[in-house]
Amino acid sequence: MLKVDFSIIYFVFIVIFSFFLFNYIKLLISKVKKFFYLLILIRSVVIIILVTLIINPSITFSSFSNKTFDLVIDNSKSMKKYSQNLINNIKEIKDWGDKNKINFNFYIFGNSLRKIFDFDEIDFSDSYTDFSDFVNNYKSTNEVILFSDGLNNHGLTDINYKNLNCVNVIGYGNEVISDLDISIELLDTVISNDSIKINVLVKKNLKNIYSSGSIHLNNKFNKNYSLINYNLKENSYQKISLTLPINKTDRFNSIYITNNHFESNYLNNSFELLLPENKFSSKKLLLISGSISNNTSYIKKIIKNNLYDYTIDHIYRLNNNLWSKSINDFNFNDYSLLVFDDFPLYDDDNLIIDNLDLKNQKIIYFLGPNNLSRNYILDFCNCDYKNVDNVVVNKISNEYFYKGNYYTLPSNEVNHIIRCNNDTNMSYDNGNTFISKYQNTILFLIPNLKESSYKIDGSNLIFEDLILSVIDNEIYSNNRLFEIFVDTYNINIDTPLDVKIKLYDYENINDLFLNIYKDNKLYKQFDNLEKISLDLFSKEIVFNKSGEYVLQAGLELYNYNTNSNFINIIVNKFDREIFVDGINMEFLSVISNNTEGAFYKSINLDEFLENIEISKVNTVNYTKFDLNNLSYLLIIIIILLSLEWYIRNKVGLV
């Protein structure tokens, strides 16, 4: 549609122009016959262009384009019972779209996201529902109408909704179900002469659901060894003490739980218990906490989960020179590794470590929130510490690269400047050092470690990963060779499981293979692994029998076989897609709320369409022209005036 706005002055110019044009024509008739019409045409065009440029009328072109919605249908087996209702809803929405001049694209998801062009492709045959795959692979900017029961039983539970524009949800199902999550974590480990005692915490996130199950041990010698039962009734958690006989353990052990419910997240159903190779460590570690802060629990977790081949002693300051144990009773030279947490703080602390052989003693130093001045360790490690009055913002503009990986580090504010002058030095953009190494001492110079441990924008590698990587390389010389990963620990029969094998040292590695154990025996072995990159392999496995399985990768290194970590897999006898009947309204509400969409159950379709119809309309595109910006019109005027001047001179007009 074309619309031109004229000012009233335009008509005044037209009248004046007509008067002068009439007199000009009379003059030309009396003066010359040749080129008469050409001169009239040139003069008329020039005057019309000039008048138009002076008035600059507003010229607007408008065009209408139909709104487009993407209809995304959950094609998993759990939706089959609602198939007729869903197809009717889609037809009703299509009729509504035809009435409102709205276009539609059609997608189905479950095992994967696919675009479809025929309703016959909606067969509700996908063996599981992976919402994370849908969100990560959906690339359109159109608004979405999602049809689902919200049963998210595969893939990641931590979903980033930033890829989605607006998701309007139509939910299916009668009985409301929730995202149950049961987890187990290690609290403490005590090694005695003939046994290993561990304290674990089993907890659930929903109080109104009773859950029970068992805790199992996996290692090279024992597969799915039953330890003890747990029972979560009224309480949301249960602390359990377990005693593991020495003859049942190995250096690499996996502790995992089973339960009688389907969960939304199986990634926290196990942990690795890593013990010394000879069941007792010959190496000792002393953790000294100059003060108890948020850093202390964070550091203890890192030590407990990663420095597994050390016997750990911990002493901490209660007040000034009062310690949890007499610090004078500890001979630091008896320890293979010292970990300083917010220590040293005072002059007396410097005297405590003054006799240390710092050149030969391995030390990990964590700058704490109370380190407000220079100290003995910083001076020894060539680090200049200076307090400042103004807040200093430490940040890194881009990801930090270290040993083949990129790490995302959050910014932080401090009131000091620390700059170290060592060969191994990692610094912020402003020059402040955050990690440094001098001889056998590693320095981690961030006062608040817990704030730096949070995940940023879905980033895979964060500051905690960087700490572990530095420890791996500097303390262990990177002796972690390879690990295996899966995206779920609980699957259905005939459901593919994607296993990833990550190599950390691939120069001397040959004959990589993957073992599956069942009932403490080798069940299958695969050596035809797909090579994704130089350090990453993959294998898709399908189980045709239910039960509990153990996965472990192996490889040949220097003519010896070595094994990776264990992963426990539970294959369900009952298909979760069919066995679970209901709607997860909480999960569907999270999707709609995070994308500013609407959520209704299928029985309220008319109300849903009324809400969409009010807020979503066809788009109108406007294009406005400003003639003053069209410089080529001035060029045309110059050419025409030059031509007129030439003709007038040729015929003898002045």
What one-letter code names the amino acid at 109? F
Task: Report the 3 state secondary structure along 198-254.
Answer: EEEEEEECCCCCCEEEEEEEECCCCCCEEEEEEEECCCCEEEEEEEEEHHHCCCEEE
| Percent of the chain that is helix, strand, coil (3-state, to 5) | 30, 40, 35
**Calpha distance 591→12 (Å, rounded):** 61
H and E: helices and strands count for the chain: 13, 37
**Calpha distance 443→445 (Å, rounded):** 6
Q: Quickly count: other Cβ atoms within 10 Å of residue 58's Cβ.
A: 14
CA distance to 6, 11, 54, 633, per residue, from 627 (Å):
13, 18, 9, 9
Closest to 505 measured CA to CA, from 484, 481, 485: 481
Mean pLDDT by 10 residues, the chain (654 residues): 53 64 63 62 72 66 74 93 91 90 92 89 88 89 92 75 88 79 87 81 83 84 83 84 82 81 74 68 82 86 74 88 88 87 87 78 89 84 91 87 79 90 88 90 87 56 80 66 78 83 70 88 90 86 88 77 80 73 85 89 83 56 58 70 67 55
Q: Would you state the structure tokens that stand for residue 376, as one six-digit string?
A: 């003995």
pLDDT (0 to 100) of residue 280: 45
**Calpha distance 586→206 (Å, rounded):** 13
- Following CA atoms 324, 326, 327, 329 in sequence, which dihedral angle do they give, to the nearest 10 degrees? -140
Provide CB contacts within 8 A for 322, sequence distance 6+.
none
CATH for the 482-577 domain, from 2.40.10.220, 2.60.40.1930, 2.40.30.30, 3.40.30.10: 2.60.40.1930
What one-letter code names the amino acid at 436? S
Task: Report the 3 state secondary structure along 469-485.
Answer: HHHHHHCCCCCCCEEEE
The answer to whether the CB of 165 falls within 8 A of the CB of 180 is no
Q: What is the pTM of this model?
A: 0.49
Domain ranges of the chain: 2-63+622-651, 67-177+580-617, 482-577
User: Strand 143-148 to strand 337-341: parallel, antiparallel, or no bridges (unpaired)?
Assistant: unpaired
Can the peptide bond before residue 344 be classed as cis, meaning omega within 30 degrees of 0?
A: yes
Can you name the CATH fold of 67-177+580-617? Rossmann fold (3.40.50)
Provide CB contacts within 8 A for 494, sequence distance 6+.
127, 542, 543, 544
The answer to whether the CB of 244 falls within 8 A of the CB of 254 is no
Phi, psi at 187, each rounded to 5°? -100, -45
What one-letter code names the amino acid at 32? V
The answer to whether the CB of 483 falls within 8 A of the CB of 565 is yes
**Calpha distance 548→568 (Å, rounded):** 7
Closest to 107 measured CA to CA, from 140, 156, 66: 140
